[in-house]
Amino acid sequence: MTIELSDDARLEARACQAEELREDDHGTVEFPAKRLKEWRLHRRWDRAGRLLGEDSMVTLANAHVVVMGLGGVGSFTAESLSRTGFGKLTLVDFDRVCGTNTNRQLHCMKGTYGKYKSDIMAERASLISPETHVIGRRAFYHEATSDDLLTEDVDYVVDAIDNVTAKIHLLQTCLERGIPVVSCMGAAGKLDPTQIEVADLSKTHTDPLARAVRRILRERHEIDTSKHVGIKCVFSTETRHEPQPLSYDGTEGFKCICPTKGNNLHGCETRNLIEGTTSFVTGSFGLVAASVVVRDLTGK
């Protein structure tokens, strides 16, 4: 398998393929942290340290956060966490960059189409913070990959998954294992980032995805979602806008151009509806999720 990364020997990236190239796991790219004899606050974190305090920066330097999903929400979360001095980041997404990602996903630009999102974001994070151990996983989170992706040293999980089945399994697993998690609800079909809120799952409202998550956890997993659940959610109180039909050069309707179409896991072709999105809303969701992680881990 070819791992397409920029030529930077200082990073000493290690790339490996899964023993068997499974449909749901296409391997790993890993950027080991720059070794230090002892931790010290680098001047690149001067402004973060002045706000959070040096003790909090030590806490973050010893923390491991997993970001599940690197789309319009998760790519901004990964970016923000990498710019806050975390010691270890695992960035998970099975998908490749598609042209339709351009309007909202950080990794999508000329030269990246068809490349793995996790590869690009992992390399980007390691370039931002050489002292961070960054792992990019080309994997689809679900029951079969859960144990491999949620290792024992995980301190916090960011759920930026848009597949409902996978999302439910991740949230239930985090609850069972006592892993703190912040879950991002529906960012599509929204125009106003000032209507984003953070609340326990039991307190979410207006958002159709949050409603579905509450119902499924209650009906299938016997979790009482009418009272405090222990899952912080980023959601919007804005009423969803219906997508408008488009035509392209004489063809009508939607046509999937994703490099990973036909993967039988999750893709445009299997969706009943393709929503409209804006970077200033999806990105805001991701940044808010990053703030939840930092504030929870540092007690701010």
CATH number at residue 193: 3.40.50.720
Cα dihedral: 258, 262, 264, 267 (round 10): 30
Tell me if 77 is assigned to some domain.
yes
pLDDT-above-90 percentage for the chain? 74
CB 127 within 8 A of CB 81: no
The residue-averaged pLDDT of 251-273 equals 62
Burial of 159 (0-12, 13-18, 19+ CB in 10 A): buried
Residue 11, pLDDT above cutoff 50: no
Average pLDDT in the chain: 88
Band (19; pLDDT cuts 50, 70, 90)? very low
298: pLDDT strictly greater than 50: yes
Does 5 fall in a domain?
no
Pair 125, 36: CB distance under 8 Å: no
Report how many domains make up the chain: 1
pLDDT level of residue 23 (50, 70, 90 thresholds)? confident
Q: What is the pLDDT of residues 94-142, one digit of tens each?
A: 999 988 888 998 999 999 999 999 999 999 999 999 999 999 999 999 9
State residue 272's pLDDT score.
64
pTM reported for the whole predicted model: 0.89
Please check whether residue 142 lies inside any domain of the structure.
yes
pLDDT interval class at 260 (50, 70, 90): low
Residue 58 has pLDDT above 80, yes or no: yes
Q: Which residue has the higher pLDDT, 271 or 245?
A: 245
Look up the domain containing 111 and give its range. Answer: 10-36+51-242+278-298
The CA distance from 59 to 214, in Å, is 32
DSSP, collapsed to helix, strand or coil, labels residue 88 as strand
Confirm whether 101 is domain-assigned. Answer: yes
pLDDT in tens, 134-158: 999 999 999 999 999 999 999 999 9
- Whether residue 249 is contained in a domain is answered as no
